[in-house]
Structure 1
Amino acid sequence: MVMTEKEYQPINCDDYDNLELACQHHLVLEIKLRGGERLEAKACDLLLRKQVEYLIVDVAGEQKELRLDNIAYFSHPTIGKIEISLAD
């Protein structure tokens, strides 16, 4: 059985800008994914690959790529809680 990922849905520009800010300052974020998983991770970089955007994070010394449209929200005391909206 072949699993295919759903088509990527870009996120709202303001939410993207907040992720850029988090990466610039290497903020440790609380992140909740749309599937319910929660993690605490340091924001490292944003990446575009094959028209899909990813947040590169460091979780306990291990780098992970999170699809931006899979993130429900992220938060940090400096920037507050940002709920990710998908672009229209």
Structure 2
Amino acid sequence: MTKKEYQPINCDDYDNLELACQHHLVLEIKLEDGEKLEAKACDLLLRKKVEYLIVEVGGEQRELRLDCIVYFSHPTIGKIEISLAD
């Protein structure tokens, strides 16, 4: 788990994650530690000023810090490289 200060992500990227959650899309996600996973987007969560994507992987829920996601992709929305807010 990273201890660096949270960096909010670009609004357009956030909106795409919101859309993915609304439609429960199964996303291919790459994290900055190199981990790749296929996970169903469930919800977005804000806790202590840090935003998380709640995903379901193999029947279990995980919380992914938004600023730790390198990219996510799905056939209907394409590949979205996460950029930090200005």
TM-score range, shorter chain: over 0.9
User: Is 1:82 the equivalent of 2:80?
Assistant: yes
Provide the residue aligned with 1:32 in structure 2.
Answer: 30
Provide the residue aligned with 2:20 in structure 1.
Answer: 22
Code of the residue aligned with 1:71 in structure 2: it is: I
Larger Rg over CA atoms: 1
Secondary structure, in 3 states, of the residue corresponding to 1:10?
coil
Distance 1:35 1:12 in 2: 20
CA deviation after TM superposition for structure 1 residue 4, in Å? 6.8
Provide the residue aligned with 2:6 in structure 1.
Answer: 8
Distance 2:82 2:46 in 1: 17
Distance 1:11 1:60, change over 3 A: same
Query: How well do the aligned residues superpose, as a CA RMSD in angstroms?
Result: 1.2
Provide the residue aligned with 2:61 in structure 1.
Answer: 63
Distance 2:66 2:52 in 1: 5
Q: Which runs of 5+ in 1 are unaligned?
A: none
Q: Which runs of 5+ in 2 are unaligned?
A: none
Q: TM-score, normalised by structure 1?
A: 0.95
Code of the residue aligned with 1:54 in structure 2: it is: Y
CA deviation after TM superposition for structure 1 residue 49, in Å? 0.1
Distance 1:4 1:73, change over 3 A: closer
Higher mean alpha-carbon deviation, 66-75 vs 3-12, is at: 3-12
Distance 2:33 2:24 in 1: 25
Distance 2:34 2:2 in 1: 20
CA deviation after TM superposition for structure 1 residue 34, in Å? 0.9
